[in-house]
Structure 1
Amino acid sequence: MTSNIEKSFIATLRMFDHRVGFLEQLYGKPAMATISLFSGGFYTGRPQTRDQSHLLGIRSNEQSGRIKPLKLHFAHTPDGYILTVKNQGNYFNQVISNHWLDTVEAVKPDTDNLTTFILVDRSGTAITLDNLTGVHTAVSLKLKNHAYLGGIKITSLPYVYLGKTEERSKITFILSIVERHVPVIKT
């Protein structure tokens, strides 16, 4: 999938009353969770404990310390934006992608199936860099399958994840432009 540099940009995603980031930043590393596996309504084995530090989540401002805003490169494609992590650390230059729990995670950029996100304004209209006239804009993120990104709680797990939700449960983020890409003019 190719990107259009003129419509790509770097921005932070944050919320007024919650912090947005990787579970390891919000809850400490390692962010462990014990998961019971089910298939078709049947229990399929004993619970497994997994490190979920690389999954994205939210946590209220009162519960979390000072955390840098999530900084992302929004690479424009015909299907939406591919989000690449630009915060220094373990996930630098990894892409945000769907996870099997309907959550989103950081994965290596050479993955076969990149997840694209569509930026939408408060009225549900898709927007691009051309529509982002201010430095700070209220946006929601929509996935290709019409699900939105919102906060989800999984039974028996201690975290609030960012994951697929219905429109009524979507999160409205504050998108703050850090860098607009200027097209290269050849002479």
Structure 2
Amino acid sequence: MTSNIEKSFIATLRMFDHRVGFLEHLYGKPAMATISLFSGGFYTGRPQIRDQSHLLGIRINEQSDRIKPLKLHFGHTPDGYILTVKNQGPYFNQVISNHWLDTVEAVKPDTDSPSKFVLLDRYGTAITRDNLQAEHTPVCLKLESHDYLGGIKIRSLPYVYLGKTEERSKITFILSVVERHVPDIKR
């Protein structure tokens, strides 16, 4: 898959009062969670302990002052942007995709159907590189499923995740453009 180079760019996603990043960076590695599985309202087995280090989340600024901003390549497609991690580390060049808990995670770039995100301004108008004039722009991210990206808390788990929310619970991020002219990324 090849991104449209003319409309792609690299930027950071931040918030005013929270840090955005992988759970391992926000809370320490490994970011473990005990998950109880339910189906149709019925308990379906023993709780499972899972490493959730690769999931994205948020944390209040004063609790995580050493975290670097989340740097992403916004690879343009006709349906939205494919977000590829550009922070150095274990998730470099992995794409952000939906997770089964309605959260978002880093996955290998050769995934069959990477998630696509639409950038929206405060009026709900789609933003592309063409109309992204300011160096720092408030944006919301909308998934192709028409859900917004927001902070979600899963009962009994210690983290605040980034994941699918309704419009009233969406997060407004600060998008800061780092590079407007980026080489095409082959997947």
Q: Normalised by the size of structure 2, how large is the TM-score? A: 0.96
Give the equivalent residue in structure 2 for 1:165: 165
Q: Which amino acid aligns with 1:59?
A: R
Q: Is the 8 A contact 2:9 2:73 kept in 1?
A: yes
* Residues paired across the two proteins, number: 184
Letter in 2 for 1:30: P
* Deviation of the 1:159 alpha carbon: 0.1
Counterpart position of 1:56? 56
Q: What's the secondary structure of 1:62's corresponding residue?
A: helix
SS at match of 1:6: helix
Query: Is the Cα–Cα contact under 8 Å of residues 8 and 182 in structure 2 kept in the other structure?
Result: no
Are the structure 2 counterparts of residues 97 and 182 from structure 1 closer, same or farther at C-alpha, using a change threshold of 3 Å? Answer: closer
Distance 1:68 1:175, change over 3 A: same
Q: State the distance in 1 between where 2:49 and 2:183 align.
A: 47
Q: Percent identity?
A: 86
The one-character-per-residue Cα deviations of 1:37-90 (angstroms, maximum 9, x if unpaired) are 011111110000000000000000121131100000000000000000000001
1:34-73 alignment runs, 5 A limit = 34-73=34-73
The TM-score, its normalising length taken from structure 1, stands at 0.96
Deviation at 1:35, TM superposition (A): 0.2
Output one character per residue of 1:97-136: Cα deviation in whole Å (capped at 9) or x when no partner: 0000000000000011210000000001111001100110
The CA distance in 1 between the partners of 2:65 and 2:114, in whole Å, is 32
> Is this contact kept in 1: 2:23–2:57, CA < 8 A?
yes
Question: Which residues in structure 2 correspond to 1:88-167 (within 5 Å)?
Answer: 88-167=88-167
| Corresponding residue for residue 17 of structure 1 | 17
Q: Distance in 2 between matches of 1:134 and 1:61?
A: 24
- TM-superposed CA distance for 1:164, in Å, is 0.2
What is the distance in 2 between the residues matched to 1:4 and 1:62? Answer: 38
* Matched position secondary structure for 2:168: helix
Unpaired runs of 5+ in structure 1?
none
Give how far 1:182 is off.
6.6
Counterpart residue number, 2:181: 181
Deviations 1:147-181 (A, max 9, x none): 00000000000000000000000000000000002
User: In 2, are the aligned partners of 1:6 and 1:183 still within 8 Å (CA)?
Assistant: no
Distance 1:110 1:103 in 2: 20
Contact 1:117 1:141 in 2 (8 A): yes
Native 8 Å contact 2:10 2:182 kept in 1: no
Greater displacement, 2-11 / 98-107: 2-11
* Preserved contact between residue 9 and residue 182 of structure 2 (Cα < 8 Å): no
Give, as a single letter, the amino acid of the residue that structure 2 aligns with 1:53. S
What amino acid does structure 2 have at the position aligned with 1:94? Q
How far apart are 1:11 and its partner, in Å? Answer: 0.2
1:138 corresponds to which letter in structure 2? Answer: P
| Separation of aligned partners in 2, 1:183 and 1:2 | 11
| Residues 136 and 147 of structure 1: CA distance in aligned 2, closer, same or farther (over 3 Å) | same
